[in-house]
Structure 1
Amino acid sequence: MHIMTDAKVSGENKLERLGFSYERGGVHTARTMMLVELRALLSYVDKADAARTEYLEAIQTANCLGKRSGKTRALTFRHLADLYALDPNLLVFRALRFLWQRDVDGQPLLAALCAYSRDPILRASAPFVFGFQEGATVTREAMEEFIDAQEPGRFSKATLKSTAQNINSSWTQSGHLVGRVRKVRARAASTPGTVSFALLLGYVSGLRGESLFKSDFSRMLDCSFEKTIEMAEDASRRGWISLKRVGQVVEVLFPSLLTAQEMEWLREQN
């Protein structure tokens, strides 16, 4: 059982204003991170500042995802909104959209970073997946045991099985695992866009300087400190982030991604 400190709760509340989620549930009991649907939706609604209602209309009315029934369309919207917010007023989704068009190769990992900031079951499974060496087999049964150990008895056997399958599928969509039936630990393909997103998520969580490159978000990138710095420098040249490095001192800022209001919130937080 997790005892929440007041400081932790207020920190989480502040991050919720930016689109992070700490709900107890999680889409992964029912679905994967839905990369195929997300790609189709974001190419159908191609305005970066589209309102949440436009995503709803695209799925419900235009049926851009080709779902058979109204009920399935409603459920699909709900799952995608739970995973990705689909709201330009929330930083995690707005940053995802900003980088999505600009860094197509990074899309699987961008989606995973966003889902990680919003889905507690996916977040909880990350240390388990990252504990495997490249080439090691990650079985569904091992994932089931890990999930069950977090809160013994919370899920029925059937739910445990489908949740473990969904989580392993999401880590496959993100590039951290490969294989259809037998899942093997692989190295995810990080890019300047995914590095920008990981650093941003760490920054709004209160990290600064070099510790940004060692956060749980940066761990998702599956690459060395030096390689991450290199890609951050590339992102800085493209104007996505601002990176200054003098010897051991690193400063990263996000003028293209954070609004004045969000900067104000972060100042209050610190």
Structure 2
Amino acid sequence: MSTSIAPVMPRTPVERLRWAFSDARIVAGRELIHWVRNPVVILNTLLFPLVMVMLFGYVFGSAMTVAGGGDYREFLMPGMFGQTMVFGVISTVYAVSLNAARGVTDRFRSMPTSSFGVLMGRAVADMLTSTLDLVILVLCGFLVGWRVRNGIGPALAAVGLLLLLRFALIWVGICMGLRLTPEGAGAAWMPLFPLTLLANTFVSPQLMPGWLQVVAEWNPLSAVVLACRELFGNPGLAGQSWPAQHALELAIAWPLLIIVIFLPLSVRRYRRLNR
């Protein structure tokens, strides 16, 4: 007759942290195996930004103007990088909601696992795939004529800002995914698309009407994109407003604020699921 032995639960903060990171590694590995076995999902997430780059770069690019002058393709690419990071929320929302609908989340919750560790595993997996998305999009940018003008150091800092934005929005996606059905998650792109347009992704806010310019300049995506343009050395008139003059600070502050708000909300929602 076999006897099951319950695992010893961690008591000290160090043990809890080690427990959480161990669970995160296992969950992240599980998610990555799913990506490898179903690469079509990654291709679908890449298809839209690649089509947009070609469309705006070659079809509309000749008719677009950049406030302050400069090549539109170089103006466009940091905006496309930022938009891709935002649209990554869609895959996060859908994957989390699908796991909840299929009972995967309930199975994790029935095990002696760390709530934070399970969600961090999801975040790590999404960060790895988002990094791959960004690398492929950067290579596509080089093909259409985009260039880095300020050297490798500032360019890596810009990439770090983009990934920080993605990491912050992962927690928004997890929080939404734990509340939505897979059908509802499929419509997550609807509020995100205007959010990425009401920013400096495709046109300078200085070319927008006055009230819309204010909305665009205070958009968190605008801060990240403008900071990336400055770090890459790409064209784009910053403007004289406070958010335009402090884009780098806001590009760090906005994602950190989002993490502080949505990470605890995600963990709380996970623990109270189905209550």
Shorter-chain TM-score range: under 0.3
Structure 1 or 2: more strand by fraction? 1
Q: TM-score, normalised by structure 1?
A: 0.25
- Which of the pair has the greater relative contact order for Cα pairs under 8 Å at 6+ separation? 2
Larger radius of gyration: 2
